[in-house]
Amino acid sequence: MSAAFASVVLDVDSTISGIEGIDWLAERRGPEVAAKIGALTNDAMRGTIPLESVYGARLDVIRPSSSEIAALGVAYEDNLAPGLREAFERMRAAGIKLVLVSGGLRQAIEPLATSLGIADTELHAVRLRFNDDGSYLGFDASSPLTTSSGKSTVLEQLQLERPIFAAGDGATDVAMRQVADKFAAYVGFARRPNVVAQADLVVDSFADLADLVLG
C-alpha cells in the first residue's frame, strides 16, 4: 500500500534536533550575548520580526569559528528528537523522499544529515565562510534561507514529487505551507502559538509524524 505522501520536508533546529544552533553558539559568548541573541531568535521564530533583519547581525556578534561549528554539529546529534531515526527508517522503507530545509548553518548540520542518510543534495541550509585559520569570515547572504519567506522559495525550486508533507516549529517554516500539500507544526521541543494557528496539523512526536505520512 502506498504512503499518503511522496515527499517529507523537515526543519532542523527545534524540530529534528532540540537546539537552536545560533543560540547554542551565542551561549559560548557569555550570558549577556546569549540573552540578546536568544531574544532575537525567539522574535524571528514567533514572526514578530523578519528573519532577514537579524540573520547577519546575530552572526556578526557571535562570529563562530570552524571548530565551534564542528562542536555544534556534535550537539545537534546529541539532542536528536526521540524516535527520529526509527521514523526515518519507516518512511524511507516506504519509498518516501526525505529532505531537510533549514535556516541553520550547513557545515554544522552536515554530519547529522549524513548520519540520518540524507544526501548532500537533500540538505538545504546556509553555508558559512571561514578564513584559513578557521575564524569567521561571513555567510552566504544570497541564500533565500536567510529570509522569512525563503523556505517556500527553496521548496518551489526543488520540485519534489507530490503530495508533499512539511513540518517545522517556527514562523519561517510556515512559509512552506504555500507550496506543501500539508504543513504540520512540530511542537516536540517548542510550541509557538502563531505557528500552531497557521498549521494544518500539530504533531509532538516523530512516531506520530511518520504515522501521518504513511497514512
CA distance linking residue 25 with residue 168, whole number of Å = 21
Burial degree of 121 (CB within 10 A; 0-12, 13-18, 19+): exposed
In this structure, the strands spanning 164-168 and 7-10 are: parallel
CA distance linking residue 29 with residue 59, whole number of Å = 12
Contact 157, 180 (CB under 8 A): no
Catalytic-role residue among 13, 23, 169, 173: 13
Cα distance from N-terminal residue to C-terminal residue, the chain: 9
Question: Which of 59, 71, 150, 62 is closest to 108 using CA atoms?
Answer: 71
In this structure, the strands spanning 182-186 and 97-105 are: unpaired
DSSP 26-63: HHTT-HHHHHHHHHHHHHHHHTSS-GGGTHHHHHHHH-
Catalytic-role residue among 11, 23, 169, 173: 11
Residue 92's CB: how many other CB atoms inside 10 A? 15
Q: Is 169 a catalytic residue?
A: no
Q: Is 173 a catalytic residue?
A: no
Residues marked as catalytic: 11, 13
